[in-house]
């Protein structure tokens, strides 16, 4: 959804930056790692300090490395299974850091345990969404479906976290996190149903 519709646009935007970095010997893997470190800093240092707006700004800046590293790999001709594995693994690290940072804030000085619990549920169910797809694809099925894919979850969370940092009532972010958790659970169900249908359509093994 958002992943597919926006990625081509951002790829065109970041192509000049990718060429610039490659010309100076920077690798796609290095960009992936630096991007993850930046997101982790914004989420696990600034969010727990209550700096939700500035944390969101830092995360947003570095999260675009997820597009930039792919553009660099294609331009350099280094796309392959290792890069795909590294990128996918560190994506999970970034997602976990964002929701964990919100949990630390709301269970601590933010003093809103319901929001912390909703962030924890969003973290766990978001990981399950990714796992279901990965497991399905490892078995030869397709499970790239659902109402709450990674990009949607991340964008919605960051938008409302940033607005909360600017003074939006924290209960709005709480409701957003609750809805994200529900949407993630629905997505898990959708992917399981999709795989089940594909499994039934396959002829039985002899």
- In the block, which residue shows the tokens 């610039």? 20
* CA pair distance 183, 86, nearest whole angstrom: 27
For 61, half-sphere exposure in the C-beta direction (CA atoms, 13 angstrom radius) is: 13
* CA pair distance 93, 66, nearest whole angstrom: 12
> What is the CB neighbour count within 10 angstroms for residue 132?
20
**Catalytic residue list contains 29:** no
Q: Which two tokens stand for residue 43?
A: 């989420």
Q: Which stretches does DSSP call E strand in 30-180?
A: none
Annotated catalytic residue, options 69, 91, 95, 111: 91
* CA pair distance 103, 19, nearest whole angstrom: 38
> What is the CB neighbour count within 10 angstroms for residue 134?
13
Active site residues: 91
């Amino acid at each position: 959804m958002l992943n597919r519709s926006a990625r081509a646009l951002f790829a065109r935007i970041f192509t000049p930056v990718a060429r610039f970095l490659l010309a100076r010997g920077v690798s796609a893997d290095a960009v992936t790692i630096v991007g993850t470190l930046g997101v982790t800093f914004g989420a696990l240092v600034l969010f727990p300090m209550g700096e939700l707006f500035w944390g969101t700004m830092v995360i947003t800046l570095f999260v675009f490395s997820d597009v930039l590293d792919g553009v660099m790999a294609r331009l350099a001709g280094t796309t392959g299974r290792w890069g795909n594995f590294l990128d996918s693994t560190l994506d999970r690290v970034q997602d976990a850091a964002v929701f964990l940072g919100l949990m630390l804030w709301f269970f601590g000085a933010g003093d809103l345990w319901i929001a912390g619990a909703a962030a924890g549920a969003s973290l766990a169910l978001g990981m399950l969404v990714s796992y279901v797809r990965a497991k399905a694809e490892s078995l030869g099925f397709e499970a790239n479906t659902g109402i709450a894919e990674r990009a949607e979850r991340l964008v919605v969370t960051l938008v409302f976290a940033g607005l909360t940092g600017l003074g939006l009532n924290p209960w709005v972010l709480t409701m957003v996190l609750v809805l994200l958790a529900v949407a993630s659970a629905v997505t898990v169900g959708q992917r399981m149903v999709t795989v089940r249908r594909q499994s039934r359509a396959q002829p039985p093994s002899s």
